[in-house]
Homo-oligomer: A and B are copies of this chain.
Amino acid sequence: MAIVQTELYLIRHGIATERGTYENDGDRPLTAKGIQRTEAMVKRLWQLGLQFDAVLTSPLVRAQQTADILVRVGLAANVETFGALKPGGQLTDWLAWLDWWQGHRAQGRVALIGHEPDLSDWGQRLVTGEGGDRWVLKKAGVIGLMLPAAEVALGQSELFWLSSPRLLLGQGLTFG
């Protein structure tokens, strides 16, 4: 029997306009700098040879725009909007999707485009079984996890990557 495992990439949307600049928070778009840095990050993922078999995104504009950059740069053929990825969504809703997806393919790479503090909390749940706020996921940053079968992924997954755009692209480090 094939070993079921999924490489999961949790990607936070890029820098968006300030809170309060739009009546509906979900309408806030990426800024020019946000688009530029997100494109640079995604191009670097492309250089690393990364390709996704599925990309799910939060329905909010800043996440959709981030996901569109992934497709434009060539990391994925298409993107699916997934309601459970909006702020405050439930990991269990996504795990139900994963269970279905793993039933179709034994293994592969999935990217989720979403929001903090949800994504890093989900990562911690997958690795330790408990949520938390001690992983720092910057805008356009990435977390890489190796998941076993969806029904046992909580507390049984491995963390192999966590990086900000700055630490991947080399725009200089400042302390603190």
Tell me, rounded to whole Å, the shortest Cβ–Cβ distance linking A145 to chain B.
Answer: 9
Q: When chains A and B are docked, how far (Å) is the Cα of A49 from the Cα of B168? A: 12
Query: Given the complex, which residues of B lie within 8 Å of A107, measured CB to CB?
Result: 175-176
Contact between B162 and A136 (Cβ–Cβ < 8 Å)?
no
Q: Mark A123-142, 1 if CB is under 8 A from B, else 0.
A: 00001101010111000000
Query: Given the complex, which residues of B lie within 8 Å of A170, measured CB to CB?
Result: 44, 47-49
Query: Given the complex, which residues of B lie within 8 Å of A108, measured CB to CB?
Result: 175
Most chain B C-beta atoms within 10 Å of own C-beta, residue among A50, A156, A157, A163: A163
In this assembly, does A96 line the interface, its C-beta being within 8 Å of a C-beta of chain B?
Answer: no
Q: How large is the interface on A (under 10, 10 to 19, 20 to 34, 35 or more residues)?
A: 35 or more
Contact between A161 and B158 (Cβ–Cβ < 8 Å)?
no
In this assembly, does A173 line the interface, its C-beta being within 8 Å of a C-beta of chain B?
Answer: yes
Contact between B158 and A144 (Cβ–Cβ < 8 Å)?
no
Q: Mark A144-163, 1 if CB is under 8 A from B, else 0.
A: 10100000000011111111
The 3 A-B pairs at the shortest CB distance, nearest first, are namely: A136-B160, A49-B173, A162-B162
